[in-house]
Amino acid sequence: MEGFPLVRMRRLRRSPQIRKMLDLPLPGPEKFLWPVFVIPGRRKRVPIDAMPGQDRLSRDELLRDLEGVARMGVGGILIFGVPGDEGKDPAGSGAFRADGVVQKTCREVKKNFPDLIVATDVCLCAYTDHGHCGPLAPGGDVDNDRALDLLAKTAVSHAESEADWVAPSAMMDGQVQAIRRALDARGFTQTLLMSYSTKFASAMYGPFREAEDSAPGAGDRKGYQASYGDLNQALRESRLDEGEGADILMVKPSLFYLDIIARLRDRTLLPLAAYNVSGEYSMLHAAAQRGWGDLTGMVRESVTALARAGTDIFISYWAKNYHTYFGGAA
Ligand code: PBG
Ligand code: ZN
């Protein structure tokens, strides 16, 4: 005999102890990468308006913040460079300067925090004067094959600066293969490649583009980032990157894409990262500021949803204050 009154589901959630026994645990801090925006100079801390609690930091200020972050046991950081206008040209060549802001940051962070994982975003959009993720062909389209060489150079320069992981986000065809080959040819066989494998052309990147000053000057990124309406294409993107030698796959954004995360989880044996993007962070802050939701409750619920869908690695701005959101009792 099935069902009520023999079966009472409420027995399984009667007490906090029972719920804790049965629930998926919240992911520990070691599962998180904190994305950071690094600017040239010293003693600079520029708040990002649309992202309360997050700043653009000069390297010395980043090291200061990392003391608390490392003490909490956060797994690592994902570095974005903000070079400023003087660092931009049509090809984005500032991205692979040996003395660029990302390169210097990698070395300093590894020296001071050898146990933190240092991952770098590999893209050109913060370094191109037109704001696209690769150089432009005469017609104005992004030149895929010319971008590959520039992205590979960028990844190699990060590895030379002691980055542990490189994370290409430009959504150029063949970028994973080009980067893996370039790394291996220079002996960086141990540099891990985390591909932004299924990255959608999303309206949720707005606050990030403000922080990075990387919005395209003209047009949008729909010609290279995946279209959110096409499920099979989204799955193929990750499968192709796996074939090209990615070590870790990623879905980005995350909260509107739990179906993609769950399906990829069933289709790959690779670790799966979810990028809990800027717009997802700002959205919860904005609701909480207006009194429309409890921030800690919303953060825990959304991150649990990512874990339940099959996320292994959480790339999230919440990591900076891990204890505030995930430390206390449920
Ligand atoms: C650039 C890049 C973007 C993000 C990470 N790398 C923005 C974009 O593609 O326009 C978004 C991250 C976020 O919104 O938090 N290639
Ligand atoms: Zn880009």
> What's the CATH number where 93 sits?
3.20.20.70
Q: In this structure, is residue 286 part of a structural domain?
A: no
- pTM value is 0.97
Residue 237 is assigned to a structural domain of this protein:
yes
* Domain that includes residue 36, residue range: 26-216+231-246+315-320
Q: How far is the CA of 114 from the centre of ligand 2 (A)?
A: 28
Asked if residue 268 belongs to a domain, the reply is no
Per-residue pLDDT of the chain (330 residues; tens, 9 = 90+): 689 999 999 999 999 999 999 999 999 999 999 999 999 999 999 999 999 999 999 999 999 999 999 999 999 999 999 998 778 999 999 999 999 999 999 999 999 999 999 999 999 999 999 999 999 999 999 999 999 999 999 999 999 999 999 999 999 999 999 999 999 999 999 999 999 999 999 999 999 998 988 888 888 999 999 999 999 999 999 999 999 999 999 999 999 999 999 999 999 999 999 999 999 999 999 999 999 999 999 999 999 999 999 999 999 999 999 999 999 644
Q: Give domain status of residue 80, yes or no.
A: yes
- Is residue 63 assigned to a domain? yes
Residue 297 to residues 39, 274, 287, 306, 325, Cα–Cα distance (Å): 32, 20, 12, 14, 8
Does 152 reside within a domain?
Answer: yes
Number of folded domains that form the chain: 1
Q: Annotated catalytic, 199?
A: yes
Do the domain assignments include residue 99?
yes
Q: Is the CB of 169 under 6 A from ligand 1?
A: yes
Please give the number of the atom of ligand 1 that sits closest to the Cα of 207.
14
Tell me the β-bridge partners of 121: 167
The backbone torsions φ and ψ at residue 41, rounded to the nearest 5 degrees and listed phi first, read 100, -170
Indicate which atom in ligand 1 lies nearest the CA of residue 317: 15
Question: Distance between alpha carbon 280 and the CA centroid of its chain, in Å?
Answer: 12
40 occurs within a structural domain: yes
Rounded to whole angstroms, the Cα distance separating 287 from 52 reads 12
